[in-house]
Amino acid sequence: MTIDAFIDALPKVELHVHLVGSASVPTVQELSRRHPGSEVPTSEEELRRFYTFRDFPHFAQVYRAVNRLVREPEDVATLVLGLARDLAAQGGRYAELQVTPYAHHVVGLPMREVTQALDLAARRSLDEHGVEMAYIFDIPGEYGEEAARITVEHALQEPPTALVGFGIGGIEQERPKYRDAYRDAFSAARAAGLHSVPHGGEMSGPETIWEVIEGLGAERIGHGINCLSDDRLVAYLRETQLPLDVCPTSNVCTGQIAAIGDHPLPRMLEEGLYVTLNSDDPPMFATTLAEEYRVAAEVFGFGRKELAQLARNGVQASYLAEERKQALLSEIDDLLTQTSRGRQTP
């Protein structure tokens, strides 16, 4: 079995992917036709150029433009089902999809209708594509107290059945001015039993990672790539094995890392940190979850054993039911054993 075939066969989970950012070119074209007159291009060639980002603020601007195409409950369900279809084609079995309720609120979608669309799409994702969907509600960090309030109200008052976590994303440098509001929102969400899964250390330094740990009670951190400049933080992450959801191609496309060969993922693993591999906003970055595993193989030199361990890390760090975790872990181990025996056969 070639390394490509191994990656294709490897059961995978996606722990860091955004609802709007998961929209493939065909899905965006469908939404554009459904809602004509937007600034989002309708041709494939123009759309791919539209997805060429100068920096993170430009990426955020494009992301908001695509989000404005999501105007009806049917649009929300279309996005979820599109991701399920795409994941199924690359060995994806489960995803924790990051949804930003505030983005739907500002275009006038009622909480209940968004939740009904998410529930319907989760059922259809499993029935039609064999992909189990869970949801994480996240606050867009640059929008302050109103965004925090709307997000936590939706999470507590009208949650989808598969809601498992509460997060925060967006531009990290804007968060300190709203620190107390974000801490209060996370405190309420955690008290209601939701897991804390904030972004941190993607576009700012270790101070943001410390804040999500100490102020937001992080149980898993999105990105965390800038942890390595703080020895005390590295020691803490190594000791606690707090998972970091790493998205290499995303970090290059948004200008956080100069080139893929410079990505700190290999060093993070050498330091004994707990890392999962994810795609973030795959069509916007011309990647897929499977492609991130190929990058790990081709750029970082990871072999089957290392790739299987990354897949295992994702399963173990997920909020899947324990029996489902064990079943997927067994599948990963069986695949690795079979391919190892095949390579040893004369």
The verdict on pTM exceeding 0.85 is yes
Residues designated as active site: 202
3-state secondary structure of 151: helix
Contacts of 293 (CB under 8 A, 6+ apart): 7, 10, 12, 277, 307, 310, 311
Q: Pairing between strand 221-223 and 244-246? A: parallel
Q: Specify the pLDDT at position 52.
A: 81
Closest by Cα among 11, 90, 37, 74 to 283: 90
Burial of 100 (0-12, 13-18, 19+ CB in 10 A): buried
**Domain housing 260:** 3-344
Q: In this structure, what CATH number is given to the domain that contains residue 87?
A: 3.20.20.140
Q: Specify the pLDDT at position 145.
A: 97
Closest by Cα among 108, 101, 109, 134 to 20: 101
Tens digits of pLDDT across the chain (346 residues): 899 999 999 999 999 999 988 888 888 888 888 888 778 887 888 887 888 877 778 878 887 888 888 888 999 999 999 999 999 999 999 999 999 999 999 989 999 999 999 999 999 999 999 999 999 999 999 999 999 999 999 999 999 999 999 999 999 999 999 999 999 999 999 999 999 999 999 999 999 999 999 999 999 999 999 999 999 999 999 999 999 999 999 999 989 999 999 999 999 999 999 999 999 999 889 899 999 999 999 999 999 999 999 999 999 999 999 999 999 999 999 999 998 776 544 3
Looking at the structure of the chain, the number of domains it has is: 1
Q: Specify the pLDDT at position 343.
A: 58
Closest by Cα among 173, 318, 187 to 256: 173
Burial 282-305 (b: 16+ CB within 10 A, else e): bbbbebbbbbbbbbbbeeeebebe
Burial of 249 (0-12, 13-18, 19+ CB in 10 A): buried
Q: For 101-146, give the DSSP string.
A: HHHHHTTT--HHHHHHHHHHHHHHHHHHH--EEEEEEEEETTSHHH
